[in-house]
Structure 1
Amino acid sequence: MNGSGSGASHPATRWEIIQVGHGGWRVCDSSLSESDGSRLVAYVDRNVTGSFEVLWLRNPRPARSRYRKLADLLADLDALIAEPTPARPRSARPNEIPHFPPRG
């Protein structure tokens, strides 16, 4: 993450950070093969204030999309994969959105 342009794995996790240009990174799941499209987890850009804006592409997906440090982003990802989550097939219906009658 120091401008070398090469990928670096986050210690003790499966996340790989790959620099793409000046101030941009890809977060990849190194536990998946290079040919697996779901390997790409997020794109990260440093904005003018120095914070990091995250575009999440797949789960695990923390609720936050802005971080002060990349290490905080990786810590959130680590925490999410450490939590057991109920298995839900991709074909399952999404959560229902409550519908209300029009105001009259």
Structure 2
Amino acid sequence: MTMTAPEPPKPASIWEVIPIGRAAWRVCDGNLTESDASRLIAYVDKNETGTLDVLWLRSPCPTRSRYRSMPELIADLDRAVAEHIISRAMRPTEIPHFPPQH
């Protein structure tokens, strides 16, 4: 019998995409209250070529700042948050200690 490790659970999208203009949005964390400043994750603007430019305002966030679509942006945000959760759960890297040199 072959056993495989289960995949880590994927985070549920908790992001609220709120329009603030004809081609601009705010991405907010739906788990936080409206009065919490850390609720605001990013500002998104659609540029003249149709791509989305993102200004990330909170960590963890993806390293990219340009996307072709909002679903692609949200999926990348989910992935960055999941990786952050996994990396925080791992043991820290040990720093080698050497005896003093004489």
What's the TM-score, normalizing by structure 2? 0.70
Q: 1:86 offset after TM fit, Å?
A: 2.4
| Corresponding position: 1:50 with 2:54 | no
Higher share in helix: 2
Aligned counterparts of 1:78 and 1:21: Cα–Cα separation in 2: 24
Aligned counterparts of 1:44 and 1:70: Cα–Cα separation in 2: 9
Which residue in the other structure is 2:15 paired with? Answer: 15
Does the residue aligned with 1:42 lie in a helix, a strand or coil?
strand
Which residue in the other structure is 2:68 paired with? Answer: 68
Whether contact under 8 Å (2:14, 2:29) holds in the other structure is yes
Q: How does 1:23-34 map to 2 (within 5 A)?
A: 23-34=23-34
What's the TM-score, normalizing by structure 1? 0.69
Q: 1:80 offset after TM fit, Å?
A: 1.6
Aligned counterparts of 2:87 and 2:29: Cα–Cα separation in 1: 18
Aligned counterparts of 1:59 and 1:34: Cα–Cα separation in 2: 18
How many residue pairs align between the two structures? 76
Which residue in the other structure is 1:86 paired with? Answer: 88
Q: C-alpha root-mean-square deviation of aligned residues, in Å?
A: 1.3
Q: 1:82 offset after TM fit, Å?
A: 1.8
Q: Which runs of 5+ in 2 are unaligned?
A: 1-11, 90-102
Does the residue aligned with 2:81 lie in a helix, a strand or coil?
helix
Whether contact under 8 Å (2:29, 2:41) holds in the other structure is yes
**Aligned structure 1 segments of 4 or more residues deviating by more than 6 angstroms:** none
Does the residue aligned with 2:87 lie in a helix, a strand or coil?
coil
